[in-house]
C-alpha cells in the first residue's frame, strides 16, 4: 500500500497557568512511501516521530494536510477503520493471556462480514506466530518470554489483522544490545516476507541506517533529508544531518576559505573554487583520514592514542580547532607502524570532507 503525506501538519497548543504556548510537532510533511517500502523516521527525541505515527494511525487528527493510503484519502477515517498495525516500545501484552490468546485478541471482536470462527482465528494467529518464529511458544504467558520474544508477540499481534501498513514506534528500545540487533534483523525479514509497507521510528541512526530502504531525517518537526541511508551518509544536506549520522561521529572543525583554498588553522587542505573568503565549518568522516599524506592535503593533529580493532585501527587525536572532544580517524591496520610520537599528520580523502556555512549549517558543495 502506497502512503502519501500531503502538507501534513500538527500543532499542539498547551497552556500552563496563563502562559499559552504552541509546538509544531509535525511541520508541513510532504512525501510518498512506496508500496512494500520500509521507511525509517530518524531524529532526536521530541522531533515529532511519534506524532507522525499517531497521525498515520488515526490516533490523532492533523491540524492541516492530508494522508492517503493508495488513492484513498484516510485523513478523516477513524483509527479502527484504517487497517493499521501498531507496535510500541513497551509491548503492552495482556499478562494473563497466553501468546496465542494475545495474538488472536485483535480478531475477537469483529462483527458482521469480518467475523471469524474460532478455527479461523487460531489459523491466522498460528500463521502470524510462524512468521515471527514463535509457533512453539503459543501456550506460554508473556512473563515466561524474553524481551525479544515479547516484542515478537506484539509484532505478530499487529500482523494478524493483515494491516495495510505497519507502524513501529521505537520497537527495540527496551531490548538489550544483542537482542536489539537480532530483533531488528527479524523485523527486516518479516517485513520482506509479508511485503507490508512499514514505517519504523527510531532515534538511533545505526538502527535506522541498517533496516531502512530510505530514511527521513527530522529535527524539531521539520524534515531535513529523505534518501537511501548510504546516500544520506555520503551526501548530507546540512551540518545537522552530517553530525547525526555515523559512528564514530563525524569530526567537526572551525575552518575558513581564503583565496579559493580551504584551511584549518594555518594548514591549507584543498582548493575550493569560486567561493568567497569567509569562515566555514569543515567536517571530516573518520574514514576520511589517511596516514600517507598525499601531496598538500595535510592536517597535523596531536596524537592521544591508537586503538587496535583488528582489521582497522582507530587513531584518537586532538586539534585546537576541532569541536569534538577527540578526533577519531579509522585507518587500515597496515598503517600502524608509521604512527608514533606526539603528532600525527593526516592526508584527507576529498569526498569524505564536507564544508558548511558557519551560520546556517547549509552545505557548500565544491
Ligand atoms: P518524538 O517521538 O520524536 O520524540 P513526539 O512526536 O512525541 O516526538 O513530540 C514532538 C513534539 O510535540 C514535542 O515537543 C512534544 O513535547 C510535543 N507533543 C507531543 N505530544 C503532545 C501533546 N499531546 N500535547 C502537547 N505537546 C505534545
Ligand atoms: Mg516518540
What does the pLDDT look like over 170-208, one tens digit per residue?
A: 998 888 888 888 888 989 998 999 999 999 999 999 999
Res 114: pLDDT: 82
Which atom, in ligand 1's list, is nearest to the CA of 170?
2
Quick check: CB of 342 below 6 Å from ligand 1? no
Res 337: pLDDT: 66
Q: How high is the mean pLDDT of the chain?
A: 93
Ligand 1 pocket: which of 20, 46, 57 to mutate (most atoms within 8 A of CB): 46
Please state, in angstroms and rounded to a whole number, the distance separating the CA atoms of residues 156 and 134.
9
Res 75: pLDDT: 97
Q: Find the 34 Cα to ligand 2 centroid distance in Å.
A: 23
Q: Assign 333 to helix, strand or coil.
A: helix
Q: What is the pLDDT of residues 198-239, one digit of tens each?
A: 999 999 999 999 999 999 999 999 999 999 999 999 999 999
Q: What is the pLDDT of residues 105-156, one digit of tens each?
A: 989 888 888 888 899 999 999 999 988 888 899 999 999 998 888 988 999 9
Q: Give the β-pairing of 214-219 and 38-42.
A: parallel
Q: Find the 52 Cα to ligand 1 centroid distance in Å.
A: 10
Ligand in nearest proximity to the CA of 43: 1
Q: What is the pLDDT of residues 310-342, one digit of tens each?
A: 888 999 999 999 999 999 999 987 766 667 788
Q: Find the 171 Cα to ligand 1 centroid distance in Å.
A: 18
Quick check: CB of 45 below 6 Å from ligand 1? yes
Quick check: CB of 49 below 6 Å from ligand 1? yes
Residue 263 pLDDT exceeds 70: yes
Which atom, in ligand 1's list, is nearest to the CA of 14?
25
When pLDDT is averaged across residues 34-56 and rounded to a whole number, the result is 97
Please state, in angstroms and rounded to a whole number, the distance separating the CA atoms of residues 250 and 126.
46
Ligand 1, atom 16, lies closest to the CA of 46
Please state, in angstroms and rounded to a whole number, the distance separating the CA atoms of residues 262 and 350.
11
Q: Find the 213 Cα to ligand 1 centroid distance in Å.
A: 26
Ligand 1, atom 7, lies closest to the CA of 50
Quick check: CB of 47 below 6 Å from ligand 1? yes
The length of the chain is 366
For 97, 127, 138, 182, 361, the CA distances from 144, given in Å and listed in that order, are 12, 21, 11, 19, 50
Which atom, in ligand 1's list, is nearest to the CA of 201?
2
Which atom, in ligand 1's list, is nearest to the CA of 60?
23
Is residue 271 within 8 A of residue 299, CB to CB? The reply is: no
Instruction: Please give the model's pTM, rounded to 2 decimal places.
Output: 0.92
- CB-facing half-sphere around the CA of 19: CA atoms within 13 A: 2
Amino acid at each position: 500500500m502506497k502512503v502519501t503525506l500531503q502538507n501534513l501538519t500538527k500543532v499542539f497548543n498547551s497552556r500552563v497557568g496563563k502562559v499559552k504556548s504552541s509546538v509544531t510537532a509535525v511541520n508541513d510533511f510532504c512525501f510518498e512511501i512506496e508500496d512494500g517500502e520500509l521507511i525509517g523516521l530518524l531524529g532526536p527525541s521530541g522531533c515529532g516521530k511519534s506524532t507522525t505515527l499517531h497521525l498515520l494511525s488515526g490516533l490523532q487528527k492533523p491540524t492541516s494536510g492530508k494522508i492517503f493510503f493508495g488513492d484513498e484519502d484516510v485523513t478523516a477515517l477513524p483509527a479502527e477503520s484504517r487497517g493499521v498495525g501498531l507496535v510500541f516500545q513497551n509491548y503492552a501484552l495482556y499478562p494473563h493471556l497466553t501468546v496465542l490468546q494475545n495474538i488472536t485478541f485483535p480478531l475477537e471482536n469483529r462483527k458482521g462480514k469480518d467475523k471469524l470462527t474460532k478455527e479461523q482465528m487460531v489459523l491466522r494467529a498460528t500463521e502470524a506466530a510462524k512468521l515471527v518464529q514463535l509457533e512453539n511458544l503459543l501456550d506460554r504467558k508473556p512473563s515466561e518470554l524474553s524481551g525479544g520474544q515479547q516484542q515478537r508477540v506484539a509484532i505478530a499481534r499487529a500482523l494478524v489483522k493483515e494491516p495495510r501498513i505497519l507502524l513501529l514506534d521505537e520497537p527495540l528500545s527496551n531490548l538489550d544490545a544483542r537482542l536489539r540487533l537480532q530483533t531488528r534483523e527479524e523485523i527486516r525479514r518479516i517485513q520482506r516476507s509479508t511485503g507490508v509497507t512499514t514505517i519504523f521510528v527510531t532515534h538511533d541512526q545505526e538502527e535506522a541506517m541498517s533496516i531502512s530502504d530510505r530514511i527521513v531525517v527530522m529535527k524539531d518537526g521539520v524534515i531535513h533529508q529523505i534518501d537511501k541511508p548510504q546516500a544520506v551518509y555520503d551526501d548530507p544536506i546540512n551540518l545537522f544531518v552530517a553530525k547525526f549520522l555515523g559512528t564514530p561521529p563525524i569530526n567537526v572543525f572551525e575552518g575558513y576559505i581564503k583565496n579559493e583554498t580551504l584551511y584549518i588553522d594555518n594548514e591549507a587542505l584543498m582548493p575550493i573554487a569560486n567561493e568567497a573568503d569567509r569562515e566555514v565549518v569543515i567536517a571530516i568522516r573518520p574514514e576520511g583520514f589517511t596516514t600517507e599524506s598525499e601531496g598538500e592535503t595535510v592536517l597535523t593533529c596531536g596524537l592521544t592514542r591508537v586503538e587496535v580493532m583488528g582489521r582497522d585501527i582507530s587513531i584518537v587525536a586532538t586539534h585546537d580547532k576541532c569541536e569534538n572532544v577527540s578526533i577519531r580517524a579509522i585507518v587500515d591496520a597496515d598503517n600502524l607502524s608509521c604512527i608514533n610520537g606526539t603528532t600525527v599528520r593526516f592526508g584527507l580523502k576529498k569526498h569524505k570532507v564536507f564544508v558548511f556555512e558557519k551560520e546556517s549549517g547549509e552545505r557548500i558543495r565544491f
